[in-house]
């Protein structure tokens, strides 16, 4: 087993704080903010004096159009398109109404087809009526049959 050697230099454990510089007590945060604001204003004034508005470069394209007006027109156009999608207004039919009664020629096949359809409908209606009549009977017929069966001599066993 190997032993760890002792460190060559010892580490100082005492912390010694430096004294507070004297200039810190002469200023405060309000004074520093005030000095910064004053310096910013001075820089702005220097730059404004250095450059005049005549030195500013003006693009020829800016002279050609009224950009604010065009932008407003485009905005209104886009809103109209959006609202057109939101509101549904169906187009009226361009249907031509007949002036006189339509002339329909009857053929044998169309008459037979109509007759067959009418017979099917009548058969369906009669089935419906029969079913309706069958289901509307009251229980009086059953009670009569039951009384007859009770009184008859053939069923006295019960």
Find the angle CA(105)-CA(107)-CA(109) to the nearest 5 degrees: 145
More confident residue, 104 or 116: 116
On the question of pLDDT at 77 being above 90, the answer is yes
- Whether residue 150 is predicted with pLDDT greater than 80 in this model: the reply is yes
> How far is it, in rounded angstroms, from Cα 158 to Cα 156?
5
> In the numeric block, which tokens belong to residue 156?
């006295």
Tell me, what's the pLDDT at 117?
A: 95
What is the average pLDDT score of the chain? Answer: 83
Residue 4 makes CB contacts below 8 A (sequence gap 6+) with none
* pLDDT of 156 above 70: no
For the chain, give every domain's residue range. Answer: 22-86, 111-155
Confidence class of residue 9 from pLDDT cuts 50, 70 and 90? Answer: confident
pTM for the complete prediction?
Answer: 0.26
What's the rounded Cα separation, in Å, for the pair 147 and 156? 12
**149 and 155 Cβ atoms separated by less than 8 Å:** yes
Please identify which residue in the block is written with the tokens 């229980």.
139
Percentage of residues in the chain having pLDDT higher than 90:
23
């Amino acid at each position: 087993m190997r032993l760890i050697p002792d460190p060559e230099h010892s580490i100082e454990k005492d912390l010694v704080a430096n004294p507070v510089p004297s200039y810190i007590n002469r200023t405060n945060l309000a004074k520093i903010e005030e000095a910064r604001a004053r310096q910013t204003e001075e820089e702005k004034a220097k730059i404004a004096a250095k450059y005049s508005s005549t030195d500013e470069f003006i693009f020829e394209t800016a002279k050609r159009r009224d950009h604010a007006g065009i932008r407003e027109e485009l905005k209104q156009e886009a809103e109209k398109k959006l609202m057109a999608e939101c509101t549904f207004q169906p187009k009226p039919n361009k249907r031509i109404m007949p002036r006189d009664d339509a002339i329909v020629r009857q053929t044998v096949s169309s008459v037979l087809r109509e007759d067959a359809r009418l017979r099917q409908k009548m058969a369906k209606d009669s089935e419906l009526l029969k079913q309706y009549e069958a289901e509307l009977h009251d229980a009086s017929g059953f009670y009569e049959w039951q009384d007859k069966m009770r009184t008859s001599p053939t069923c006295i066993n019960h």
